[in-house]
With several copies, the nearest count.
Chain A
Amino acid sequence: MRLYEYEGKQLFKRYNIPTPNSVVVGDFSELDKVVYPVVLKGQVFIGRRGKAGAIQFANSKKEAETKIKELLGRVIHGYEVTKVLVEEKVEIDREFYLSATIDRTKHKPLLIVSSEGGMEIEEIAKKPDAIIKHYLEIGERVEPYLGRSIARKMEFKGDAMLKVGNIIVALYNLFLDYDCKLVEINPLVLTADGKIIALDSKVDLDEDAMYRHKELMQMGIEARHEIGELTKREKIAKKAGIPYVDLDGDIGVFPGGAGFGIASIDLIKHFGGNPANFMDSGGAPTQERLRLMIGLLMDNPKVKVIFGARFGGISRCDDWAKAVVQYVLENRPQKPMIMRMAGNMEEEGRKIFEEAIKEHSELFKNIKVYKFDTPIEEVIKEAIKESI
């Protein structure tokens, strides 16, 4: 779960990582609290915010007001600006890079620092000589001497070395204390008057660990869904916690368990069809979520046919069948559904379909549910045939 820059900086303040004097404005009441000139930063989850127009400058409160008005409500790469971070401008002497993250190839946390900062990470990665990686043991903290030693390697000396050393310790403590996947300061700047300041923040929390960080809610940081650059359907799915991506084909893909979603798209393409979406149900989805998933496909005018597949593991066939039947009874859809159902609780699932068909044969005439003995490829081919 990515945090907005200003939220990350709130956490920085808790850890005594210096940030520019600032206010966050949704309206204009607080603009007297900063000294001008200021930088106005629209809070959106994109890189290169400068190029995208999300960052402006203002030399006076009046100019700030005008520019904030322009920024608020603007949609930048799909993200609406609802908050602007107003920061006092600092004179940059040099820019550096600091981060704490997890190396998934080694399964270890590490610090990454570079004496070349301020540019996009891909650019930083191109200067490996300036990059220092320091791996930590699981459970280990960064001792102050280690912070200083890394700061020293970044070419800091004397008082600046002590400050950067402390920031490195704090950064890593924040990373551990809040179950982060990433804490990044890019750039960390040395100002013209010798101060060390974190000019940007990038904090990525582990959504699965949020339950143990109730205090974040008190700070106004809550589990959220990033909905920039999303289509209407993608937003609906995201809000419901369903991984969903619109594609430009005509076969709606209704997968029945985690993981098979991406494989079924491959198969549809392989056999010459055009999938309309990628979707993943997650393990053991609720009835409500399953019906919402069907609805997303049915309501998409591009979709001509729905291909469905349930191989019941922890997601049970009977739950799946119940959801399909209820959706059909409630919504009386016209589009055909070509599906296959096998696995755990298959028999119970099949009974649910049989009873529904017996009572509402007209409603279910376009709905086919193949059994285990029909290979999935045959089902896909039939769905493709329907889509032509």
Chain B
Amino acid sequence: MSIIIDENVQVIVQGITGRNASLHTKFMLDYGTKVVGGVTPGKGGEKIHDLPVYDTVAECLKEHPAAAVSSVWVPPRFAKDAILEAIDAGIKTVVVITERIPVHDMLFVRKRAKEKDALVIGGNTPGLISPGKSLVGMLPKIAFSGGRVGTVARSGAITYYLANSLNLAGMGESTSVGLGGDPILGANFEDVLRLFEEDPETDAVVMAGEIGGVYEELAAPYIKTIKKPVVAFIAGKAAPKGKRLGHAGAIIEGNMGTAESKVEALKENGAIIAETLSEIPELVKEALCGKQQ
């Protein structure tokens, strides 16, 4: 097993006729991902890489009723609509590659996703991969190999380097999930940690956060309750300090958002803190040995 996607999951591509979407659809197919069709409103009937293109998600699902995941590649002004269309058609996992989606659009999408019990990953996510089984998004396959460590990170490149480090140390990933870089995200660290906790093929989890936002702090209380070891890394400790918020955010978020606040919240709740990406593999190994004794 793995989380969210596996060798059997059927995937559709919204905005498939775009340059990037088309290229990465090819990469996904090459990787073995079961991409079954694409959607571009107004281009129904065309073919891309021999895949049928439909006008609507509903039609696509009518022809491919087993499709369970959609990846969204449309321009930002159409992202809200594309995600809502997918959710409304019954898709339970929407992987949103599109970046710079208006924040109020994402708030609306989050609400609908919650009502319909759908998992929206992103926006601005590189996607996710269960190595050797399925890749949804545009992660470079070379960075990943199969194994029993789950990873979840905010940025794309950190996802790749993290997997790369694990692989060089002889470990591999059950699934690697990129949460995305937009200010308002769908799935958060906690959502993904919960899935890893329940996955029998994941032994340990690495979460890589970064300065800014509140998502790392929000995940901390859950980490206290998780049984599998969690190694956490926060990028940006050496980054220049931002200015004080100077506005209403100060009332809500207080001191959240700094590397210190994040590290402290995670540490307090039992996460194993990695100072650098390079020491993560060693910490994972130690944690797993500790578990086995």
- Is A bound to B? yes
Give bound CA distance, A252 to B254, whole Å: 33
Given A131-B251, A158-B55, A343-B142, check contact A145 B218 (CB 8 Å): no
Asked if A101 and B247 sit within 8 Å, CB to CB, the answer is yes
Of the residues B77, B139, B181, B250, contact of A258 by C-beta under 8 Å: B181
**Which of A265, A309, A343 is the most central at the interface, judged by chain B CB atoms within 10 Å of its CB?**
A343
Contacts of B142 in A (CB 8 A): 342-343, 346, 372
Asked if B41 and A181 sit within 8 Å, CB to CB, the answer is no
Instruction: Tell me the chain B residues, 116-144 only, with Cβ under 8 Å from chain A.
Output: 124, 126, 137-140, 142-143
Give bound CA distance, A247 to B241, whole Å: 11
Asked if B278 and A179 sit within 8 Å, CB to CB, the answer is no
Asked if B100 and A263 sit within 8 Å, CB to CB, the answer is no
Give B57's nearest chain A residue, CB to CB.
A145
Contacts of B290 in A (CB 8 A): none
Report if A245 contacts B (CB, 8 A): yes
Asked if B157 and A121 sit within 8 Å, CB to CB, the answer is no
Contacts of A115 in B (CB 8 A): none
Report if B210 contacts A (CB, 8 A): yes
Asked if B246 and A181 sit within 8 Å, CB to CB, the answer is no
Contacts of B250 in A (CB 8 A): 121-122, 125
Give B75's nearest chain A residue, CB to CB.
A211
Asked if B81 and A143 sit within 8 Å, CB to CB, the answer is yes
Give A245's nearest chain B residue, CB to CB.
B240
CB distance from A259 to the nearest CB of B (A): 2
Asked if A208 and B102 sit within 8 Å, CB to CB, the answer is yes
**Range, interface on chain A:** 35 or more
Instruction: Tell me the chain A residues, 175-206 only, with Cβ under 8 Å from chain B.
Output: 176, 179, 181-182, 184, 202, 204, 206
Give B108's nearest chain A residue, CB to CB.
A138
A contact patch SS = mixed
CB distance from A133 to the nearest CB of B (A): 8
Give B256's nearest chain A residue, CB to CB.
A105
Given A313-B139, A314-B126, check contact A259 B248 (CB 8 Å): no
Instruction: Tell me the chain B residues, 6-41 only, with Cβ under 8 Å from chain A.
Output: 20, 24, 27, 41
Asked if A159 and B42 sit within 8 Å, CB to CB, the answer is yes
Contacts of B70 in A (CB 8 A): none
Give bound CA distance, A161 to B139, whole Å: 34
Number of interface residues of B (CB under 8 A): 83
Contacts of B252 in A (CB 8 A): 101, 103-105, 110, 112, 133
Report if B84 contacts A (CB, 8 A): yes
Asked if A283 and B213 sit within 8 Å, CB to CB, the answer is no
Contacts of A385 in B (CB 8 A): none
Asked if A99 and B248 sit within 8 Å, CB to CB, the answer is yes
Asked if A263 and B210 sit within 8 Å, CB to CB, the answer is yes
Contacts of B84 in A (CB 8 A): 143, 145
Give B169's nearest chain A residue, CB to CB.
A375
Report if B156 contacts A (CB, 8 A): yes
Contacts of A159 in B (CB 8 A): 42
8 pairs across A/B with beta carbons < 8 Å? A104-B252, A105-B214, A143-B85, A144-B81, A149-B85, A158-B44, A311-B156, A311-B160
Show the binding face of A for B, using Cβ within 8 Å.
47, 99, 101-105, 107-110, 112, 120-122, 124-125, 131, 133, 137-139, 143-146, 148-149, 152, 157-159, 161-162, 165, 176, 179, 181-182, 184, 202, 204, 206, 208-209, 211-212, 245, 247, 255-260, 262-263, 265-270, 275, 278, 282-284, 309, 311-314, 342-344, 346, 372, 375-377
